[in-house]
Amino acid sequence: MSAVTWGRLRITAGREMYQLLGAVQTIMSATTPGPINRLTQALSEKRLTAVALVEESIQRIEASALNAVAETSFDSARRDAELFDAGLYAVGPLSAMPTVIKDLEDWRGHPTRKGSVPLKDVPPAEQNALVPQRLFDSGAIGVAKSTLPEFAIEGFTANLVTGVTTNPWNVKYSTGGSSGGSAALVASGAVAIGTATDGGGSIRIPASLCGLVGIKPTNGLIGRYPTPDWIDLSTDGPFATSCDDLRLLFDVMVGPTQGDPASPTNAMIQGLKCQSTTYKKIIVAERTSPLGPLPTGVASLLRSGAEAIADLLKLPLEWRDPDSFFTGGDPDLDWFVLAPSDHVAALGREWVEENMSRFHESSKNFLRAGLAVDIDAFQAARRRRFEYSRQLSQLLGDDTLLITPTVASEGFLADGSLVEGGEATGLPPEVYSTAMQNITGNPAISLPMGMLPTGLPFGIQITAPHFCDYDLLSIGQQIENAYPWARVAPGYTPLDEILN
Residue 27 has pLDDT above 90, yes or no: no
Query: What mean pLDDT do residues 432-441 have?
Result: 98
- What does pLDDT average to over the chain? 94
Q: What is residue 30's predicted lDDT score, i.e. its pLDDT?
A: 62
- Mean pLDDT over 9-28 rounds to 36
In whole angstroms, give the CA distance from residue 53 to residue 77: 11
Look at residue 431 in the predicted model and tell me its pLDDT: 97
Torsion of CA 25, 404, 186, 97, to 10 degrees: -70
The CA distance from 491 to 500, in Å, is 17
Domain limits for position 220: 3-499
Please report, for the domain that includes residue 445, its CATH number.
3.90.1300.10
- Rg of the chain (C-alpha set): 21
Q: Could you tell me the pLDDT band of residue 275, with boundaries at 50, 70 and 90?
A: confident
pLDDT at residue 211, as a whole number:
98
**Range 337-345 average pLDDT:** 98
How many domains is the chain built from?
A: 1
pLDDT tens by residue, 31-49? 789 999 999 999 999 999 9
State the average pLDDT over residues 481-488. Answer: 97
Residues with active-site annotation: 102, 178, 202
Predicted confidence (pLDDT) at residue 19 exceeds the cutoff of 80 = no
Residue 462 confidence (pLDDT)? 99
Percent of the chain with pLDDT over 90: 92
pLDDT category of residue 14 using cuts at 50, 70 and 90: very low
- Model confidence at 8: pLDDT above 90: no
Residue 16 has pLDDT above 60, yes or no: no
Q: Which of 3-12, 69-78, 384-393 has the lowest mean pLDDT?
A: 3-12
Q: What is the pLDDT of residues 171-202, one digit of tens each?
A: 999 999 999 999 999 999 999 999 999 999 99
Rounded Cα distance between 174 and 431, Å, is: 13
User: For 218-265, what is each residue's pLDDT tens digit?
Assistant: 999 999 999 999 999 999 999 999 999 999 999 999 999 999 999 999
Average the pLDDT over 328-337 and give the result: 97
Q: Check if the beta carbon of residue 429 is closer than 8 Å to that of residue 333.
A: yes
Q: Which of 11, 64, 120 is nearest to 355 (CA)?
A: 120
Q: What is the pLDDT of residue 13?
A: 38
pLDDT category of residue 329 using cuts at 50, 70 and 90: very high
Average pLDDT over residues 360-373: 98
Asked if residue 348 has pLDDT above 60, the reply is: yes
Of 18 and 442, more confident = 442
pLDDT of 22 > 60? The answer is no
Mean pLDDT of 361-390: 98
Mean pLDDT across the stretch 373-398? 98
- Edge-to-edge strand list for the sheet holding 193-194: 69-72, 141-146, 98-102, 193-194
Percent of the chain with pLDDT over 70: 94
Residue 20 pLDDT > 50, yes or no?
no
pLDDT exceeds 60 at position 7: no
The reported pLDDT for the residue numbered 423 is 87
